[in-house]
Structure 1
């Protein structure tokens, strides 16, 4: 037993309370409590509780979102009551915790292995209530098999806390007024829909918490910054839909973020108009940039309504090169101009890092330029595969305040762009899907155009496979090689597979220093390389 603090003793008249596992027994049923991850463990408490007569199980969960995770959660909830019999009340946290996790809600009620009520998985609402009408006698009928009774007879007993009340009403006619809830088909979002909704809700919560006036992103004309921008546009769509439904909290937040006065009657019901007020995109070109990427960036900004600027930063890059030449007497050259590998890499990196510096300058001053107060959050757009491989410049424009795609694979991002093209009516996205991924940090010649996958020595699809095998399936180099022999053996020789595995682990190991400074990103995959996470995600 546990002694209560004296201040509570004075209020309740109790000196001690029982300490440990117990169940609550009412006049008409028995209720047990299971917490969060206990649902996912092999010996979940609901098993012994159910054998001891508990009929209703509650779970106040804090289960964060991951792509494709909802199916696992639903199956565990259904299985908890299918063999055992019972009612499972599952409530989940909803919203951003101010860090990398997003809790996706989706409260559920299950009866005897069937889902009878389901809440929304992604929502801008802070609270959502789900209800169902059930007949507790259905649980008792489900528990009649003799084999179950034999196991229940020898099961561990829980201390019961008796409560002099009943959950059901006294009127015998009550059930005639309200029909019993039947099993429903569970609503699952496709992974590309989850990318459109989860990070969008996360961004909105982050924007509200930070008290900033919007977002800024260097829009390169490539698919990664395109995906990040479309997620912001998805956020604007969700906000506009909530405003159209009359959500007072969303409307008030949108007005404050957009810099409207307290007397304003402006309604954020047009996503493109909202995007123009709070989302700022910038194409930062150099002599190595192509007209194709510049044009794609401009057309995407027009399609989603962002406040777009276009600049050329050659003068700054040249100033840095000249400063180095004055100090050292050596003027570095690109590889195609006869320079060494060290010179070529340094000239690429300085372009990338200047973009980061410019991004923060514009993020701080663009609201001022537009006659508003405050600043903007800078968005990063490095995907999880590039981070695993270390294919990024440390402290380039992948260094930002937050990154909505930092734990999403290139493969899933392409599927998301394809989905958004039709769902959001953005035909410009076809141009991004058909473009060859390139950093555009080296001069383009008749015989050479920089391409990401050629630089990395592996494809983005291969990187996704490496990432999952390394972290999710706990594979080292040898076990990864043996698994891939079965998966890739029909198209690649053992030597080719071995070379790819060795190259991946070599690059992964030597680029670990980059992982320690990764921009905080939305947690969407279980194989993220981010070192700054808690132990639950390692």
Structure 2
């Protein structure tokens, strides 16, 4: 018999408060969905206003303009003869809800408010919205007059209901509800809902895609059904990158996969599926059917419209596919590159400037910019006219077409090696060669003159001249002299970012890129307001370990041979005097901890919610083969001392691409204090007591003698 339905889901690059651009992208997605034969179209969460409006949700303007966009959508010929499911904030009885508005042919069918709000990590939905708590309850919502004039409706259903079309039943979930232990799709499926939809605003984190895909597929594996997921994509105006990954699943299998990283602002995924396959799948699950016979029914909104093709058994249906996952190295190569592109094209700047030291971190940042140039050039080559228009606006040339990655890189990317008397020839050579291979416009300069002037002012005023430690100076003098160099580099970076294009006879200014990794930020191994201070930082949420793997990936895939020597060199700040022309200062020696250890501390501190004592308890088991309990205690104490001493630096951390769930970034993600009692006296005493107990128990263990 067969009941084939064609469904469309979207990944849209929406931008907070860009109502003009957002409505254009929504209409384009609906137009594409209809062209491909879809009779239902799903869009991302809060797509009308953009997900990342944050405290703008408090403003009545945001709700007002969202309804104005809704009116425009309702009136458009593009939205006729297809069920459209869009996201926006709605005020109901003076309570703000995150809603789906589902409409057909100028009539609103249902406003479905979100019931489970995301309120952890980067998400603060409870700050702006209230969850709808009345399950299976619908009330009448009085529409604004501007909508009444379009639809002819005075009120519409508002609440937890499902849509009953002529041929099937469709129920909505919104983002976090999929992740909840009692997801609505469970009860909806038992009540006969065959199609589940989920509109998401789910951001990218390294290695997260597996979890999202598994959740979607498992949602229909036990209960049967079709699951349609839409997602935001791109930079919505903040630190997060929404990675698309729209998908359609049926009966536990992926049917259609959208791209995870793409420069296309509008991506529409369409699949044709047979609803009879859902019925057949469910028929064999007796445990499901027993539960279904006792379920409380959902209110059903009757819709005089069919999703399936009437009496057409010849429509081909889609078959299951294998999901193609990116490796973490590919994710680093693609995600931050797409985020940078969004930031560049929307900031109206002419490119980026990067202080390139010849070390792993700044080199990885340079490679991400190069990857961005590669993605842009490829998109233009493949005919993406929107990307080409953005490129021409950025370079201020209406006839320009990027030839290749290196040529485009030279147009929009400036690298700058800022040498001092403490810099080695090796780092100079590494930076020079990498800049040559990626094609950036490269500047070499020396900061010694500026350093001497600044230190000279201090000496003239105070009557004393600070010295490096190797010349007999104290630790305080040594650190101050290092920090002067670092901060001067920040001042010069911004000066060159503002004026280097002017000096070259080119229009526009440049965005300054930072290159402090997540582990250095966690430890605080950076100078406050040095060249880690920048406009944005594409690697600020990525660990040193992952960056090394990414460098290896770039060597192999971009043939950047300059990276080979960068990989083999020990990380160093090069802020202390050279010894016999060689670097004597290394990052790990300065920090007193390895980068591998820092990744472990970060995950335990943030993800496992471990304080000093519980971190010690976990690590004595994790590291029992390489460290004694006393050594573990010493490492944990050192980390927490340095973490708490330097925590204040996180208040000024450059906005960074969020890629790790142990990011210490203070402004949005890691809401810990920045003034601590750095002795941790009670906590460290608890650790010492446990060390003594463990050592006493070890001494009391009997010695087993060999017996012949």
Is TM more than 0.5 here?
A: yes
Alignment counterpart, residue 84 of structure 1, candidates 210, 220, 223: 223
Shift of 1:149: 1.4
Partner of 1:63: 202
Match of 2:164 in 1: 25
d(CA) in 2 for partners of 1:448 and 1:131? 57
**Conserved in 2, the CA contact under 8 Å of 1:241 and 1:269?**
no
1:530 paired residue number: 665
Greater displacement, 43-52 / 353-362: 43-52
What is the Cα deviation at residue 7 of structure 1? 4.0
Mark the runs of 5 or more structure 1 residues left unpaired by the alignment: none
- CA–CA distance in structure 2, aligned partners of residues 69 and 537 of structure 1: 24
- Cα distance per residue 1:37-74 (max 9 Å; x no partner): 11111111111110111000111111000000000000
- Would the alpha carbon gap of residues 493 and 73 (structure 1) be closer, same or farther in structure 2, given more than 3 Å must change? same
**Residues 1:378 and 2:518 aligned together:** no
Residue in structure 2 matching 1:394, options 520, 528, 531 = 528
Find out whether 1:281 has 2:415 as its counterpart: yes
3-state DSSP of counterpart to 2:239: coil
Aligned partner of 1:164 in structure 2 is 304
Aligned counterpart, 2:287? 147
For 2:344 and 2:624, how far apart are their aligned partners in 1?
A: 47
Higher relative contact order structure (alpha carbons within 8 Å, sequence separation ≥ 6): 1
Match of 2:405 in 1: 271
Which of 334, 342, 350 is the equivalent residue of 2:476? 342
Whole-angstrom distance in 1 between the partners of 2:670 and 2:525: 26
Mapped to 1, the partners of 2:575 and 2:498 lie a distance apart of 26
Q: How many residues are paired up?
A: 532
Equivalent residue number for residue 230 of structure 1:
367
Q: Output aligned runs, 1:29-428, within 5 Å.
A: 29-144=168-283, 145-175=285-315, 178=316, 180-260=317-397, 262=398, 264=399, 266-428=400-562
Query: In structure 2, do the counterparts of structure 1 residues 8 and 234 end up closer, same or farther at CA, with 3 Å as the change threshold?
Result: closer
Separation (CA, whole Å) in 1 of partners of 2:145 and 2:436: 65
Indicate yes or no: 2:598 matched with 1:458. no
Kindly state the Cα deviation for residue 339 of structure 1 after the two structures are TM-superposed. Answer: 0.3
1:352-379 CA-partner distances (Å, limit 9, x unpaired)? 0000000000000011112112100000
CA-based RMSD: 1.5
> Does the C-alpha gap of structure 1 residues 7 and 443 become closer, same or farther in structure 2, counting only changes over 3 Å?
closer
Deviations 1:77-112 (A, max 9, x none): 011000010000011111111210100001110000
The structure-2 alpha-carbon separation of the partners of 1:486 and 1:394, relative to structure 1 and needing over 3 Å to count, comes to same
Q: Per the alignment, in what secondary structure is the counterpart of residue 59 of structure 1?
A: strand
Are 1:243 and 1:269, in contact at CA under 8 Å, matched by a contact in 2?
no
Q: Indicate how the Cα distance of structure 1 residues 448 and 274 shifts in structure 2: closer, same or farther if over 3 A, else same.
A: closer
Q: Give the unaligned 5+ runs of structure 2.
A: 1-139, 674-708
Q: In the aligned structure 2, how far is the partner of 1:351 from the partner of 1:249?
A: 42
| Aligned equivalent of 1:490 | 625
Deviation (angstroms), 1:269: 3.1
> Where does structure 1 differ by over 2 angstroms across 4 or more consecutive aligned residues?
1-19, 171-175, 534-538
Maintained 8 Å contact 1:27/1:166: yes
Contact 2:666 2:672 in 1 (8 A): no
CA positional deviation for 1:146: 2.3
TM-score of the two chains, using structure 2 as the length reference: 0.74
TM-superposition CA deviations, 1:153-192 (whole Å, max 9, x none)? 22232100000111111133432xx2x2111110100001
